[in-house]
Structure 1
Amino acid sequence: MGNACSDGCFGMLGSKKVSQLRACKQDLKKFIDGKNCHPIMVRLAWHDSGTYDQRIKNFPERGGANGAIRFAGEMNFGANAGLDKAKGFLDEFAKKYPEISWADLIQLASAVAIECAGGPAIDMKYGRVAVTSDSECVKSGSREGFSGNAGLPDAKPPFGCGAPTAAQHLRNVFTKKMGFTDQEIVALSGAHTIGRAFKERSGACPFGYGEQGASKYTKSDCLARKDGQKGVGMVGGAAWTKNWLTFDNSYFKDYKLASEDENLLWFPTDEALHTDPEFKKYFDIYAKDQDAFFKDYAKAHKKLSELGAKFEPEQGIKI
């Protein structure tokens, strides 16, 4: 596809977009660090990209990173419960930086969140075209085999795609539908290190909103940030790791703790990554080598952020 554009290659309009992307990135760093909203920014971007179906060729019918998550046609899926809050966080950025499409803004915020939490810098490119109305959201008929959960993986059986095992379910969603390899599936799953679940959203865990609903690791006085400072953003829910605002390899390294501690999450789809022979190869590597995890994660995140996207210019924009 060639090298992505930089400032001088597509005129004054492109240069303005690059300038706004750079300024927005700095503003997002301050905002995300102050709000401690890293997990929900990653989730918003993943769920926007996660509608992608490689079996469908045309844009925007194929889904993917096109900003459709901001419309009711996507937001109203049960799997997307709570993401209206993340969209609300970005509304002011969209107003301040009108040259940045919603599709780019959502993916930029996700990459910034990973980096702010101590994770790798993602070699992102921009210029994604955003859909402009609810009518351009992926239709239910385009979610063949995955319609019940917005085309995203289920945490527990019975799996919407009909898979008999968690490992097969992950491959149905990530490989058959989206085009990821086993290695990329495992690497992407490592982002659970900064993830949380809430009873009121997914129903997949017993911990919910607020101090009373929190696990012992998600209360207001917990120290979860990489820098050890106070602040957890929204209180409550349960996480996969103790330090769930720190992006590292603890999802892999400390899996035994997660599987044994009732205050931490560990679902059948997590267990599959450690028990399926092909998944386990990569799981074990990432448990021992954080650098290897970061390298592979950055590549997989970049791929996820471009699924189904239409770029203008076609080769994208680097900042």
Structure 2
Amino acid sequence: MTEDYQPVRDAIKKILPLDSYDDGSIGPVLVRLAWHASGTYDKETGTGGSNGATMRYKLEGSDGANNGLEYARLFLEPIKKQFPWISYSDLWTLAGVVAIEAMGGPKIPWKAGRVDDIDDRYVPPNGRLPDASQGAAHIRSIFYRMGFNDQEIVALSGAHNLGRCHADRSGFEGPWVPNPIRFTNTYFKLLLHREWHKRKNSAGVEQFNDEDNDLMMLPTDMALVSDPKFRIWVEKYAADKDLFFRDFSAVFAKLIELGVSRGPEGKATREYSRARL
């Protein structure tokens, strides 16, 4: 039997507006959940990635890089109860795709078939997600490990068109763009054309703010304009929203497939990694 995922998509879209959360939408935190659930992948060992939904287990769920994602997981629990046949790993990635599309972003290819782990044996080690206080060398080490190139790194960074940072979660605070629940290429335009000043926020953490302290950028964001190879793509995406949307769709689809090894019917398996952990 082939399950119908359109009702799941519709249910996710219905819960996105929430006046009491951040800027009136849970969309950005659902995108972050999909990204962090996938971004633990290591191409050399085949470990980590979106298959298994291992953030359900304490080791990964308590990683400091995942602070705040407990809200995203809780927001999706009613959807899981409504459609108990969908795996958490499919639900989390699909929620990210639906949220991006609902907030004006591109359509992103998504395939079902991920299988949830029944215990924590496949939980990847902490420390595989980016440290936003670092520079270009760190960015490359993290994303090259997953199998991304410089162009894909910059395109994926365009997810910072959405959402905001919270001092009690990451240490950083504030939104990147004026409308953080609308997906566009504003992030790249602001990186290039607004003046950014290094300042300490209310938590005492160094970040970059615009003149009015309304918007912020992370050290890893600023690395995209200071590094010449990254900057080429920042300039391209700032000038051409359609190009950015095409490239973002492709790289986000690649991201949420990390760690997913599919059999002939498309169902994911853990057999590929058992000997490597």
Identify the residue that residue 171 of structure 1 maps to in structure 2: 140
TM-score between both structures, scaled by the size of structure 1? 0.74
Paired residue for 1:280?
231
Deviations 1:95-138 (A, max 9, x none): 21122111100000000110111000101111112212233312
**2:85 aligned to 85, 99, 108, which one?**
99
In structure 2, the residue corresponding to 1:286 is in which secondary structure? helix
Structure 2 match to 1:292: 243
Amino acid at match of 2:165: A
Number of aligned positions between the proteins: 247
Cα contact 1:46–1:305 (8 A) shared by 2: yes
* Native 8 Å contact 1:48 1:65 kept in 2: yes
What residue ranges of structure 1 are gaps of 5+ in the alignment? 1-11, 141-146, 158-165, 206-237
What are structure 2's unaligned runs of at least 5 residues? 20-24, 197-209, 269-277
Correspondence 1:315 to 2:251: no
Relative to structure 1, the CA distance from residue 316 to residue 91 in structure 2 (aligned partners, 3 Å threshold; closer, same or farther) is same
Q: Deviations over 1:5-64 (max 9, x none)?
A: xxxxxxx2xx2x2x1x2210011111113561011001111111011111103xxxx010
2:16 partner letter: I
Q: Counterpart of 1:257?
A: 194
For 1:242 and 1:303, the matched residues in 2 are separated by 28
Going by fraction, where is strand more abundant, 1 or 2? 2
Whether 2:15 is the aligned partner of 1:26: answer: no
4+ runs of 1 displaced by more than 3 Å? 310-317
**Superimposed CA distance per residue, residues 267-288 of structure 1 (whole angstroms, 9 cap, x where no aligned partner):** 2211111121111111101001
Kindly indicate whether the alpha-carbon contact (under 8 Å) linking 1:129 and 1:310 is maintained by their aligned counterparts in 2.
no
Q: 1:196-207 to 2 correspondence within 5 Å?
A: 196-205=164-173
Matches within 5 A, 1:129-278: 129-138=115-124, 140=125, 147=126, 150-157=127-134, 166-175=135-144, 177-205=145-173, 238-255=174-191, 256-257=193-194, 259=196, 260-261=210-211, 262-278=213-229
**Sequence identity, in percent?**
43
Match for 2:82: what amino acid?
K
From 10, 29, 34, the equivalent of 1:40 is 29
Determine the C-alpha separation between the residues in 1 that align with 2:49 and 2:266.
Answer: 17
Partner of 1:225: none
* Separation in structure 2 between the aligned mates of residue 293 and residue 68 of structure 1, nearest angstrom: 30
Q: Is the 8 A contact 2:113 2:267 kept in 1?
A: yes
Does the CA contact (< 8 Å) of 1:94 and 1:100 recur in 2?
yes
Give the alignment's TM-score, normalised by structure 2.
Answer: 0.84
2:48 and 2:122 in contact (8 A); partners too: no
CA RMSD of aligned residues (A): 1.7
Deviation at 1:195, TM superposition (A): 2.6
Say whether residues 1:63 and 2:48 are aligned partners: yes
Choose from 12, 18, 39 the match for 1:50: 39
The amino acid that maps onto 2:15 is F
Do 1:129 and 1:309's aligned partners in 2 also have CA atoms closer than 8 Å? Answer: no
The structure 1 residue matched to 2:112, chosen from 126, 133, 145, is: 126
Q: Any idea what SS the aligned residue of 1:183 has?
A: helix
Aligned equivalents of 1:253, 1:290: Cα separation in 2: 10
- Partners in 2 of 1:69 and 1:116 — Cα distance? 25
1:158-183 deviations in Å (ceiling 9; x for gaps): xxxxxxxx1111100001x1000111
Provide the C-alpha distance between the structure 1 equivalents of 2:178 and 2:260, rounded to a whole number of angstroms.
Answer: 35
Aligned-residue offset at 1:313 = 5.1
The CA deviation string for residues 53-101 of structure 1, in whole angstroms up to 9 with x for no partner, is: 11103xxxx0100211122121101111111111111111112112211
Distance in 2, matches of 1:30 and 1:316, equals: 28
Once the two structures are superposed, residues 237-286 of structure 1 have per-residue CA deviations (whole angstroms, 9 ceiling, x without a partner) of x1100111110000001223372342312122111111211111111010
Aligned AA for 1:56? T
